[in-house]
Amino acid sequence: MSLVTQNLSVAERNSSVAEIRKLINDKERISRGQAKWLWQNANDNELIELASLVRARYHKPDEATYLLMRIINYTNICVAKCDYCSFYRLPLAKDGYVRDKEWIFAKIDELVALGGELFAFNGGFNPQLKIDYYLDLFGSIRQKYGDTIEFYALTVVELLYIARLSKLSLPHALALLKAAGVRWITGGGAEILADSFRLRHSPLKYTVAEYMDAQKEILAAGLKTTATMVIGFDESIDERLDHLETIRQFQDQHPDGLFSFLSWTYKPYNNELGGHEISGEEYLRHLALCRIYLDNFRHIRASVLTQNANALRGLKYGANDFDIPWEDEVTQLAGAVIERDVQRILGYAQAEGFKTIARHVASGKSPVS
């Protein structure tokens, strides 16, 4: 997506930036129109400055938190057929799989030995796996590891699929998952929350209303959840703003309901959609815009998984937290190259002037934050 600079005089431009700066300094909110204006007209330094003002409401300017985590892909069988996906295999495909508990425990043990404590499960819409599979898996993990680790059990869209496949209402499915020891669902499967985008690329992956209703039910069930976004397909700036507006409104209605916001970038290899990757600069500008617009989110996270060292530059563009991911087949198959040198990744953040602090999510290890 190219930066479209309107034909403004220097004085007009500066006055618009000054107006937005004043709003932010007064802790007032910028409008959707102003967000679009910033995207099209603000230079990087202005975005950094404005994002830093919002970031400073929640976090010390020179500190960033991180955690070591692994995504566990428990099945690659999926019937949603999103055209941007490099990961899925249809049922009966020779290289389709469903992982058993021993395989999953070994993945957990390996990262625990390295000091990791967060695991995010991500699979597909597998018509063979009804809720019993998940209750057994998550219940067994909680029984074996107790509170020494934490896990993001499902994405919002997997939850929707599993509940329908199992002929359960969402509240009922969530109550069963909670009883099995699940505490977190994540906002995965959002990509771009604009129905126009979803119709083009993932018509079987639920509408925006279905997705947001599920987020509401997750909170009503007493579970935690997050917000995510993926950019760099063929979405327009208006579709990106649809997404940001939807989650900002949701967060207004459910204060701090969405624990964090994480945006990562589309990888265009080995899938039907193809295309090319957006630039690192575009990602950073987007990050800054999100920090400015999502003024009711405490945590804005940078994506080391898809941006590597560039993600740590994102700490200057408003992010305050990042994962160090050990593995994620979904993005790796699409072209992501994971860097596993923890000290080097922390070094990137430190080189940007940030003190890095490990964030603990397992309640058995330290206070949850």
Structure tokens at 147: 């509170």
Measured CA angle at 360 (ends 73, 118), to 5 deg:
10
User: Which of 48/334 has CB closer to ligand SF4?
Assistant: 334
Choose the binding region for ligand SF4 from 39-47, 66-74, 83-91, 241-249 (rule: CB under 6 A): 83-91
User: Would you count residue 85 as binding ligand SF4 (CB under 6 A)?
Assistant: yes
Torsions phi, psi of 66, nearest 5? -150, 160
Q: Per CB under 6 A, which of residues 148..207 are in contact with ligand SF4?
A: 202, 205
**Nearest distance in Å: CB 84, ligand SF4:** 7
Task: Out of 37, 66, 74, 88, name the contact with ligand SF4 by CB under 6 A.
Answer: 88
**Counting beta carbons within 10 angstroms of the beta carbon of residue 89, is it exposed (0 to 12), middle (13 to 18) or buried (19 or more)?**
middle
Helix H or strand E encompassing 226: strand 225-231
User: Which of 260/271 has CB closer to ligand SF4?
Assistant: 271
DSSP labels, 231-278: E-SS--HHHHHHHHHHHHHHHHHSTT-EEEEEEEE---SSSSS---PP
User: Would you count residue 124 as binding ligand SF4 (CB under 6 A)?
Assistant: yes
**Nearest distance in Å: CB 330, ligand SF4:** 7
Choose the binding region for ligand SF4 from 36-44, 84-92, 261-269, 284-292 (rule: CB under 6 A): 84-92
User: Which of 85/182 has CB closer to ligand SF4?
Assistant: 85
User: Would you count residue 78 as binding ligand SF4 (CB under 6 A)?
Assistant: yes
Task: Out of 80, 165, 338, 358, name the contact with ligand SF4 by CB under 6 A.
Answer: 80
Three-class SS state of 337: coil
User: Which of 202/332 has CB closer to ligand SF4?
Assistant: 202
**Nearest distance in Å: CB 4, ligand SF4:** 30
**Nearest distance in Å: CB 118, ligand SF4:** 20
Task: Out of 37, 121, 125, 293, name the contact with ligand SF4 by CB under 6 A.
Answer: 125
260 DSSP β-pair partners: 299
**Nearest distance in Å: CB 334, ligand SF4:** 10
User: Would you count residue 273 as binding ligand SF4 (CB under 6 A)?
Assistant: no
CB atoms within 10 A of CB 218: 26
Q: Give the CA diameter of the chain.
A: 65
DSSP state of 315: G
User: Would you count residue 87 as binding ligand SF4 (CB under 6 A)?
Assistant: yes
User: Which of 43/270 has CB closer to ligand SF4?
Assistant: 270
Size of the site for ligand SF4 (CB under 6 A): 11
DSSP labels, 115-177: T--EEEE-----TT--HHHHHHHHHHHHHHHTTSSEEEEEEHHHHHHHHHHTT--HHHHHHHH
Burial profile 50-61: b = 16 or more Cβ within 10 angstroms, e = fewer: bbbbbbeeebee
User: Would you count residue 120 as binding ligand SF4 (CB under 6 A)?
Assistant: no
User: Would you count residue 74 as binding ligand SF4 (CB under 6 A)?
Assistant: no
Using CB under 6 A as the criterion, which residues of the chain lie in contact with ligand SF4 when the complex forms?
Answer: 78, 80-82, 85, 87-88, 124-125, 202, 205
